[in-house]
Copies of this chain bind each other. A is one copy, B any other.
Amino acid sequence: MEKAYDVLIRNLCEHTALTEEDLAEIRALTLTVRDFEPNEDFIRQGDKPEHSALVVSGMVARYHLLAGGGRQYLAFHLTGDLPDAQGLFIDQMDHGLSALGPASVAFIPHRELFAAFRRRPAFGEAVWRETLLDAAIFREAITNNSARPMQARMAHLFCELFYRARAAQLVRGDRCRMPISLVQLGETLGMAIATVNRTLAELRRSGAMDLREGELIVRKWRELQRLGDFSPAYLHLKRKSPPKV
């Protein structure tokens, strides 16, 4: 349970300097932790949430519903992320959130967050910055899905996720959990499932990475980075060192 506060603090400190007083304010927040099944929705498009979510463990996805009932995945979130901080100032959800694999999510009342922001503006700025980093990731997704060929598109996604997982200390050796199906990958990258599979096969054959049993394995980081035309500047992390695989 303490873990929930720690992962949030670790994440915010990744980009913002917070004082001991700021951290105390964070640790005073009321967290309600709930566990979710793979693919379980926990915030739906159209909802007007009064709590913000914090990913404690597992992966969480944000998605648009499409006219035909399909989904467009917009972003993935890891331990420590606030995947709907935007809900603080935007009344109605324009997208939904679901657990990707099994995930545990803490909920924080908006009311308490507003009060904390008032007392500790630096905390508010950290959360604001968090939403801005989100936006930077959205921008990169626009470019990725619009301007890069299929293979680079997929490589770029895995580069980003691996890089972020590493910052969140979720990488062990050359691998991290990645409970995402081919269908979901297609609904993320805007490609047909057959293409997803064939493109993934190419990446495997290149020896740069593998994805199996819900685990991402990066065998040649620099090669994967090259294939994905990935440069991490847009993630705006203070620590710049790349994965050393």
Contacts and interface: CB of A to CB of B under 8 A. Distances in A.
A92 interface: yes
A92 B233 CA distance: 9
A138 B129 contact: no
A128 B138 CA distance: 17
B142 A86 contact: no
A116 B99 CA distance: 39
Nearest to A131: B132
Q: A-side binding surface: helix, strand, loop or mixed?
A: helix
A236 B146 contact: no
A90 interface: yes
Contacts of A189: 146
Interface string A222-245: 000000010001101000000000
Interface of A: 62, 64, 66-67, 70, 72, 74, 86, 89-92, 94-95, 118, 121, 125, 128-129, 131-136, 138-143, 145-147, 187, 189-190, 229, 233-234, 236
B138 A135 contact: yes
Q: Determine how many copies of this chain the complex contains.
A: 2
B236 A94 contact: yes
A229 B68 CA distance: 11
A128 B129 contact: no
A147 B66 contact: yes
A47 to B, nearest CB: 12
A236 B121 contact: no
Contacts of A129: 89-90
Given A92-B236, A136-B94, A234-B94, A141 B142 contact: yes
